[in-house]
């Protein structure tokens, strides 16, 4: 994963060997400084212009392995110091987790509660009023941790 702290953009209006006009745009990044990023983008733009003058095809920017051109918020490192991810801000303003390995769990607590405490069947009108005006029954305590453990291992 390539993430940089500093980014630079450069453009060049030029012509190829046949005189056809081109508008070149290049981006480059650096962790050292803004000046280092500007130097790298200048070199990249010079290389692309030289390819045009030599009648060579311009290489496309790679997809998937290209550096992230987003504001770097935080780098995420493993306990061994290896870069495992980065938090960046995209052009919409959202913070994005960029990593090769991630797991998202969606545990629906409602589903767990229904298996532990099943929904009772509907009551008749007479039964409804009897339960409404009679004293509440004594609470029934169940081992919630055991029930959750059984649900999660199933």
Same domain, 62 and 80: no
Taking 90 as the threshold, does the pLDDT of residue 80 lie above it? yes
CA distances (Å), 73 to each of 5, 70, 85, 91, 98, in order?
9, 9, 11, 13, 11
Taking 60 as the threshold, does the pLDDT of residue 99 lie above it? yes
The structural domain count of the chain equals: 3
DSSP 83: E
Which range, of 40-54, 88-102, 114-128, averages the lowest pLDDT? 114-128
Helix (H) and strand (E) counts for the chain?
Answer: 4, 5
Taking 70 as the threshold, does the pLDDT of residue 146 lie above it? no
| pLDDT band, very low/low/confident/very high, at 55 (cuts 50, 70, 90) | confident
Same domain, 1 and 54: yes
Same domain, 78 and 126: no
Taking 80 as the threshold, does the pLDDT of residue 3 lie above it? yes
Same domain, 11 and 64: yes
Task: Enumerate the β-bridge partners of residue 26.
Answer: 10
Same domain, 4 and 58: yes
- The label of the residue with tokens 């495992």 reads 84
Of 64, 109, 102, give the one whose Cα is nearest residue 86. Answer: 102
Most confident region among 2-11, 65-74, 143-152 by mean pLDDT: 2-11
Taking 90 as the threshold, does the pLDDT of residue 41 lie above it? yes
Q: What is residue 110's three-state secondary structure?
A: helix
pLDDT tens digits for range 120-138 = 788 888 888 888 888 877 6
The pair of structure tokens assigned to 52 is 């045009």
- Mean pLDDT value across residues 26-50: 92
- Mean pLDDT value across residues 11-27: 90
What range defines the domain where residue 98 resides? 70-104
pLDDT over 70, % of the chain: 78
Kindly report the pTM of this predicted structure: 0.57
Same domain, 62 and 3: yes
Q: Please report which helix (H) or strand (E) contains residue 50, including its range.
A: helix 34-53
């Amino acid at each position: 994963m390539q993430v940089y702290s500093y980014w630079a953009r450069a453009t060049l209006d030029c012509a190829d060997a046949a005189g056809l006009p081109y508008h070149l745009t290049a981006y480059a990044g650096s962790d050292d400084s803004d000046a280092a990023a500007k130097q790298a983008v200048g070199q990249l733009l010079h290389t692309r212009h030289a390819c045009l003058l030599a009648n060579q095809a311009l290489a496309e920017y790679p997809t998937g392995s290209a550096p992230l051109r987003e504001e770097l918020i935080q780098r995420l490192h493993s306990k061994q110091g290896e870069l495992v991810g980065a938090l960046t801000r995209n052009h919409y303003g959202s913070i994005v987790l960029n990593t090769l390995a991630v797991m998202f769990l969606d545990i629906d607590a409602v589903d767990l509660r229904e298996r532990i405490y099943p929904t009772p069947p509907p009551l008749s009108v007479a039964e409804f009023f009897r339960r409404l005006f009679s004293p509440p029954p004594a609470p029934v305590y169940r081992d919630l941790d055991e029930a959750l453990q059984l649900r999660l291992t199933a």
